[in-house]
Amino acid sequence: VTLQNKAASCGPGEQQRPGYGTGALESETPMLFQNQPNPFLRGTTIRFWLPEAGRADIIVTDITGKAVKLYNGFYDAGYHEIKVKAEELRGYGMYFYSLRTADYIDTRQMIYLE
In the chain, where are the structural domains located? 3-112
Cβ–Cβ < 8 Å for 104, 29 = yes
Q: How many residues does the chain have?
A: 114
CATH level 2 (architecture), domain 3-112: Sandwich (2.60)
User: What local confidence, expressed as pLDDT, does residue 10 receive?
Assistant: 38
User: What local confidence, expressed as pLDDT, does residue 27 receive?
Assistant: 81
Please give the Cα distance from 27 to 8 (Å, whole number): 14
User: What local confidence, expressed as pLDDT, does residue 2 receive?
Assistant: 40
User: What local confidence, expressed as pLDDT, does residue 25 receive?
Assistant: 52
Please give the Cα distance from 94 to 98 (Å, whole number): 14
Q: State which residues of the chain have pLDDT below 50.
A: 1-24
